[in-house]
Amino acid sequence: MNKETVPSQAEKSNPEGEPLELSPEVLDKIKHPARIDDVIREQSPEERKSNPALTPEMIDDSTDR
């Protein structure tokens, strides 16, 4: 199949005639995302322990602060 003839997932879920409306809060989060350190610190200890991207040192360090 040709890439030009197959619609992308975005085109399937939002046809051209219908503009996508996002709330100002969502747009602000997209334009100014939270720092990853802050997001990790806000996670519960269980979430941090199950997060494969964190090393044990990172998990221990984040609970000290």
The string of pLDDT tens digits covering residues 22-63 is 899 999 999 999 998 899 889 998 998 898 888 777 666 655
pTM for the whole thing? 0.43
Q: CA quadruple 51, 54, 55, 56: dihedral positive or negative? A: negative
Q: What is the 3-state secondary structure (H, E, C) of 10-53?
A: HHHHCCCCCCCCCCHHHHHHHHCCCCHHHHHHHCCHHHHHHCCC
Triad 30, 31, 35: Cα angle to 5°: 80
Name, in order, each residue with C-beta under 8 angstroms of 20's C-beta and a sequence gap of 6 or more. 14
